[in-house]
Structure 1
Amino acid sequence: MNTESTNGPDRPLSSTPSARSITQNSETKSELEQKFLTLHAEYDSLQKAKEENEVKFHEQIMMLTTQLTEEQDKFSNSQKNVEKEKESSRRTIKEKLEVVQKAAHLEEEHVPKLCLKLEYLTL
């Protein structure tokens, strides 16, 4: 059998089934390599974005933690100030009550004496 008659001079070598298969495999391999490179680039891009987000979120967490601590300190200081004011008010009320009690005691002691003196003077 003559191989030239099968392939023929008018039939190119690449049109044989095995040549076409090799060409298709080569194209498929090239397409897969391109898809791989595209996916790898996309993966790298997503990985970079993920890392940037993690850094950003970590910074936000640190900032919010600091703000929370500051607010807790303000609240604690406010509570201390309220307690100081309450204690100061208690002391002031106690002092005023003592003054009123002393005045009442003095009144009890001296009013009857003054009344007696007034009666004596008016007689």
Structure 2
Amino acid sequence: LRLSYFKAFVVQSFCLGHSAYVSSVVVYKNRVFSSGGDSTVHEWNIENGGSVAHSEKLGDDPVRRLRILPKEDLFYMVVIAGSRLIVLDGKLQLIKNIEVSSEIMDITVQEGNVVGVTRFVNFTFLKSCFGASHD
């Protein structure tokens, strides 16, 4: 990741740590997270470019998308990798791994719910990452 402000030619810092391409970057409050082809999620210090934390490898599929799911005083990261929706806590520890019937193409978070677009089904609505799902 290259972090720059307003003028792209003025580089603030480089965040080095992924071993493959970066597919998704999310900023939540004062924290920055990225995911990508190496099947991991990283948290970065944007001032010096250092890695604050990173998840274990989440499988063989690249992590396609990363979204933040706020829950009261906490937050969770919801990521997609192939046909799996994976929930991590704020320390990048695995909370839940949900397998669906087809590849998940994209996800978004709205009012505490996760909506996912799958390859063969128009959409999958997950009422909660911690509850039942409906195709």
Task: Give the TM-score category using the shorter length.
Answer: under 0.3
State the TM-score, normalized to the length of structure 2. 0.13
| Relative contact order, higher structure (CA 8 A, sep 6+) | 2
Query: Higher strand fraction: Structure 1 or Structure 2?
Result: 2
Query: Higher helix fraction: Structure 1 or Structure 2?
Result: 1
